[in-house]
């Protein structure tokens, strides 16, 4: 970015070659011939005098007794006798060839103070404001904004400036390439000056939009990556890197650098942003490659901290220490760690190596650009941007490749889960067919053996017990797909931390061979931490499996206080994921409205869980059936809510599916009654659920309307709170 400030000056220097030549004679007899594009710098023959008299602007005023001065000198450094406060005047007499006076000329000014410009005794332009007793001096730099000179046939011209420096101004070397001159004055053909000025503005604007767009896109990509996978901190550092580089470019745009007072703040903001991008990029690569921060990293960080202080008190070299030294150290550290990663054959390290090589080549061509193609400033600046982006883009590609590897691994595991789910579904279908066959056989036997009613009743009870257990196993099959989804996350953590531990053991072996005890202890600590995480997620998976086994128990379980909200939410998600696994095109929305003040309820959690699972399965089945026959405007919805009403826990499960016809509402809780097609339902789900709720001392009701909705209402007794027993 520090080279951007050269664009305007270079444009004025190289644009417009081949036009007519301008000859200016300064007083005394000094003649300079120059081309119109760079213009003629009026840097000799200047005089100054402290004080304030507008008569000093007159063309016939004799300034021979005034002091000589070189206005190109930096105001930050002392110029002999030049006042730092108050008003003083600058004068210059020069001659212009008569052939040149036929053309419209322009004056180009750059300054570090405030001035009133007089040309041949007349006020031509004012930049900033000079202290008038009411308002202080405000310095202003026009930055070579062309000023049209009035045509004058006199050969000798007089340029006088009423001048003052603003007090309490902090000066800097701007962007490492410019100083703070007292005054730079140029003469140039007006058309050339105006065209060059506007071309420079257009080029700068296009360059800014181009670079900002690139870094905004880079920041957006890595912010998205980071929120997708927050465990990969390298994405956060790369996003911050791109945002800081945008801040570096935007600082001199958003802060008015025409105001001399603001230059320092624009420079400081730019310096901070460009200085911090190095440690951010270096941190991202260290994290990405899995290397521990070493002395080179902390050395670069120390130089960054040191450069902040140096910049404020060292006028000329503060920028060089902060940018040049910092950049070289960061690039050295990046190239060093990339070479190390390539030697260790880390996956994808060759991408970063290619980025580092391209950076070195592109930056070398950029440095040699002014010599190789001095007239093509756009290409030179594009080379700078390409050089800056080589390593960050290589890092982005590296992260993309890593995401690709992870996606392939996840897809393989999902395929395995799908195969297991298909097997479970096939087994479930076989069980349902078996149940259907047994139902038909039992009904036939009842009709044929009416005479032997007692014996038939005993056989029916035995068969019913088997069917109840089969229904429980069927609900277990419904849970399989949902549990597979829940257990996948801890298994992924176990696998990831295991892989990291293997890599740490390899590093420990290297440290042992090198007798580096400190590193061995540090790595051992990391391995121990990983093993603790593996143990944690292993226990998490174990808890999920134990929960599944508890669901399949046949023996009765003692009642215990249970959080109905948590139980309902868990079985709702398991039911939804289970049905999604069975039918790929299944889609429905579900909403919950759980009462925050609901107290724990004394229940057998496994039994109440089976009741809720049965209701959820029926609700999702109903909305899915309606979705197949309804129009595109239909939106399947299953709702569950809880409430604490009159010492009862009230659970409502509703759907906007097929509803329940009035003719069969009295049969809905009877054993073996089902509205599902043959082979898809046993008719025991609601019957067992009804008996379970009654056994808990609760009530089970059905409300609804055919073709519109169905709502099941469960009420369970709650032990009175202490405040309610008083």
Q: Is 353 left (phi over 0), alpha (psi -120 to 50) or beta?
A: alpha
Does 6-193 match 560-725 in CATH topology? no
Q: Residue 654: what pLDDT?
A: 94
Q: Residue 474: what pLDDT?
A: 54
Q: What is the CATH number of domain 197-407?
A: 1.20.1070
Contacts of the segment 231-234: beta carbons below 8 A, 24+ positions apart: 232/287, 232/399, 232/402, 233/287, 234/284, 234/285, 234/287, 234/288, 234/395, 234/399
Structural element, H or E, at residue 248:
helix 234-254
Query: Following DSSP, what letter does each residue of 540-573 receive, concatenated?
Result: HHHHHHHHHHHHT--S----EEE-HHHHHHHHHH
- pLDDT at residue 118 is higher than 90: yes
**CA-wise closest residue to 139 among 118, 119, 159, 168:** 168
Structural element, H or E, at residue 575:
helix 564-582
Q: Residue 1: what pLDDT?
A: 38
pLDDT in tens, 534-545: 886 677 677 666
- pLDDT at residue 623 is higher than 50: yes
205 to 174, 209, 218, 341, 565: CA distances (angstroms): 19, 6, 20, 40, 59
The CA distance from 477 to 289, in Å, is 43
- pLDDT at residue 567 is higher than 50: yes
pLDDT in tens, 478-535: 556 456 555 655 676 577 668 778 888 888 888 888 888 888 888 888 888 778 768 8
The CA distance from 199 to 146, in Å, is 13
The mean per-residue pLDDT over the stretch 199-209 comes to 73
The CA distance from 237 to 283, in Å, is 7
Q: Residue 37: what pLDDT?
A: 47
Q: What is the CATH number of domain 560-725?
A: 3.30.565.10
The CA distance from 508 to 506, in Å, is 5
Asked if 375 and 14 count as a contact pair (C-beta separation under 8 A), the reply is: yes
- pLDDT at residue 29 is higher than 60: no
Asked if 622 and 614 count as a contact pair (C-beta separation under 8 A), the reply is: no
- Domain map of the chain by residue range? 6-193, 197-407, 474-555, 560-725
CA 438, chain centre distance (Å): 60
Candidates 2.60.120.260, 3.40.50.2020, 2.40.30.10, 3.40.50.300; CATH matching 6-193: 2.60.120.260
Greater pLDDT, 36 or 637 = 637
Q: How many CA atoms, within 13 angstroms, populate the side-chain half-sphere of residue 647? A: 9
Whether a cis peptide bond, with omega within 30° of 0, leads into 28 is yes
Lowest mean pLDDT among 210-224, 364-378, 500-514, 543-557: 543-557
What does DSSP assign to residue 321? I
Lowest mean pLDDT among 309-323, 431-445, 570-584: 309-323
Q: Residue 332: what pLDDT?
A: 80
- pLDDT at residue 725 is higher than 90: no
- pLDDT at residue 17 is higher than 60: no
- pLDDT at residue 593 is higher than 90: yes
The mean per-residue pLDDT over the stretch 55-79 comes to 84
pLDDT in tens, 253-294: 777 778 887 887 887 787 788 778 888 888 888 887 788 888
Average model confidence (pLDDT) across the chain: 77
The mean per-residue pLDDT over the stretch 343-363 comes to 76
């Amino acid at each position: 970015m520090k080279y951007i400030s050269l664009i305007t000056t270079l444009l004025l220097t190289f644009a417009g070659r081949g036009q007519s030549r301008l000859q200016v004679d300064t007083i005394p007899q000094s003649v300079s011939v120059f081309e119109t594009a760079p213009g003629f710098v009026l840097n000799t023959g200047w005089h100054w005098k402290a004080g304030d008299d507008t008569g000093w602007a007159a063309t016939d005023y004799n300034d021979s007794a005034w002091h000589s001065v070189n206005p190109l000198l930096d105001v930050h450094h002392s110029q002999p006798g030049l006042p730092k406060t108050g008003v003083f005047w600058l004068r210059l007499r020069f001659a212009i060839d008569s052939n040149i006076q036929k053309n419209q000329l322009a004056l180009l000014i750059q300054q570090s103070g405030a001035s009133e410009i007089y040309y041949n005794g007349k006020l031509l332009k004012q930049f900033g404001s000079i202290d008038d007793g009411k308002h202080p001096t405000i310095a202003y730099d026009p930055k070579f904004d062309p000023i049209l000179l009035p045509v004058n046939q006199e050969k000798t011209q007089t340029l006088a400036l009423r001048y003052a420096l603003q007090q309490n101004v902090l000066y800097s070397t701007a962007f490492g390439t410019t100083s703070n001159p007292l005054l730079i004055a140029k003469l140039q053909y007006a058309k050339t000056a105006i065209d060059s000025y506007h071309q420079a503005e257009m080029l700068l604007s296009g360059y800014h939009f181009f670079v900002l767009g690139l870094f905004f896109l880079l920041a957006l990509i890595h912010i998205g990556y980071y929120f997708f996978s927050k465990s990969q901190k390298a994405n956060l550092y790369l996003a911050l890197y791109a945002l800081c580089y945008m801040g570096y470019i935007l600082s001199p745009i958003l802060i008015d650098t025409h105001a001399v007072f603001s230059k320092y703040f624009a420079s400081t903001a730019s310096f901070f942003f460009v200085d911090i991008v190095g440690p951010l990029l270096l941190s991202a690569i260290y994290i990405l490659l899995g290397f521990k921060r070493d002395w080179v990293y902390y050395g670069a960080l120390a130089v960054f901290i040191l450069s902040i202080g140096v910049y404020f008190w060292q006028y000329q070299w503060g920028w060089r220490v902060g940018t040049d030294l910092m950049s070289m150290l960061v690039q050295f550290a990046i190239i060093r760690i990339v070479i190390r990663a390539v030697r260790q054959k880390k996956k994808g390290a060759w991408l970063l190596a290619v980025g580092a090589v391209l950076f070195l080549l592109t930056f070398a061509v950029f440095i040699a650009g002014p010599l190789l193609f001095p007239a093509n400033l756009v290409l030179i600046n594009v080379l700078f941007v390409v050089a800056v982006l080589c390593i960050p883009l290589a890092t982005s590609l590296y992260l993309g490749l890593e995401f690709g590897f992870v996606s392939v691994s996840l897809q393989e595991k999902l395929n395995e889960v799908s195969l297991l789910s298909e097997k479970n579904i096939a087994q479930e279908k076989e069980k349902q067919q078996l149940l259907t066959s047994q139902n038909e056989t039992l009904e036939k036997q009842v009709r044929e053996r009416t005479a032997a009613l007692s014996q038939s009743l005993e056989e029916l009870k035995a068969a019913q017990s088997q069917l109840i257990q089969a229904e429980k196993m069927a609900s277990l099959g419904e849970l399989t797909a949902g549990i597979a989804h829940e257990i996948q996350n801890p298994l992924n953590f176990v696998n990831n931390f295991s892989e990291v531990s293997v890599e740490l053991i390899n590093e420990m072996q290297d440290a042992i061979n090198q007798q580096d005890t400190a590193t061995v202890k540090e790595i051992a600590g990391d391995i121990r931490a990983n093993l603790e995480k593996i143990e944690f997620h292993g226990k998490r998976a174990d808890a999920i499996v134990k929960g599944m086994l508890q669901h399949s128990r046949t023996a009765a379980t003692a009642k215990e206080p249970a959080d109905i909200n948590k139980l309902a939410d868990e079985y709702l998600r398991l039911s939804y994921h289970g049905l999604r696994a069975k039918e790929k095109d299944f889609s429905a929305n579900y909403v919950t409205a759980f009462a925050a003040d609901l107290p724990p309820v004394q229940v057998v959690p496994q039994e109440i869980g089976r009741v809720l699972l049965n209701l959820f399965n029926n609700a999702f089945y109903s909305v899915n059936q309606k979705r197949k026959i309804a129009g595109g405007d239909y939106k399947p919805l299953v709702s569950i809510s809880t409430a604490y009403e009159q010492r009862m826990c009230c659970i409502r499960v509703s759907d906007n599916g097929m509803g329940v016809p009035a003719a069969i509402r009295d049969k809905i809780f009877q054993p073996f009654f089902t509205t599902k097609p043959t082979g898809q339902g046993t008719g025991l789900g609601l019957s067992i659920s009804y008996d379970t709720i009654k056994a808990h001392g609760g009530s089970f009701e059905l409300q609804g309307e055919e073709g519109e909705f169905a709502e099941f209402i469960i009420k369970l007794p709650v032990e009175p709170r202490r405040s309610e027993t008083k």
